[in-house]
Structure 1
Amino acid sequence: MTRILTLVLLLAVGAAHASDAVVLDTAKSDEITSTLTAQGYEVRRVDVEDGMFEVYAMKDGKKMELYLDAALTVVRAKISN
């Protein structure tokens, strides 16, 4: 009985986290590209990594790796020359 309750709880927690997950489809990729292009980025590639959108882009001659949350807010950026 304890194992069943543990399994049910784990599945419920997993389902709650899954609803927070970002999903990349063509429409979302286009939305990300148009949003960042309007901000001056040249978007090269859009992926999903660690529950965030990962965007490879160029701006002002610099290569950038941007991480966006589900609301398309940049939460982390890596810049290389």
Structure 2
Amino acid sequence: MKRIIALSLAILAGTATTTLATSSEISGTPDAAVVEQIKTNLADQGYEVRKVKTEDGMYETYAMKDGEKFEIYFDKDLNVVKTKSDD
């Protein structure tokens, strides 16, 4: 649990406050600029982003770090909402 909280705080610290989505709910294919911003922020923290898609009104990101798989969910403002790892 501490690891998930630390990850969330680290990602929040590296996330720009610019709003790239205009709708309150995310749907369809993610905008290329949003995908690039997510990839850049996570890469700066050592993650290899495998896929970014939208699901349940959020950006769902699949990433790897140190051989561990992560699912990181972002809201429309690119704030981390939830993080899951395959421990």
Same fold per superposition (TM over 0.5): yes
Q: Tell me how far apart the structure 2 counterparts of residues 74 and 19 of structure 1 sit (CA, whole Å).
A: 17
Q: CA deviation at 1:75?
A: 1.2
**TM superposition outliers: structure 1 runs of 4+ over 6 Å:** none
Residue 30 (structure 1) aligns with: 36
Q: Distance in 1 between matches of 2:39 and 2:80?
A: 13
Instruction: State the identity %.
Output: 48
**TM-score, structure 2 as length reference:** 0.66
Aligned to 2:26, the other structure's residue is in SS state coil
- Of 8, 20, 24, the residue aligned with 2:24 is 20
| Cα deviation 1:54-79 (Å, max 9, x = unaligned) | 00000121001111111212111111
Q: Scaled by the length of structure 1, what TM-score is found?
A: 0.70
Which of the residues 56, 59, 63 maps onto 2:65?
Answer: 59
CA RMSD, aligned part only?
1.7
Runs of 5+ consecutive residues of structure 2 not aligned to the other structure: 1-21
Query: Which one scores higher on RCO, CA 8 angstroms, separation ≥ 6?
Result: 2
Alignment gaps of 5+ in structure 1: 1-17
Q: Count residues with an aligned counterpart.
A: 64
> Which whole-Å CA distance do the structure 1 matches of 2:81 and 2:23 have between them?
20
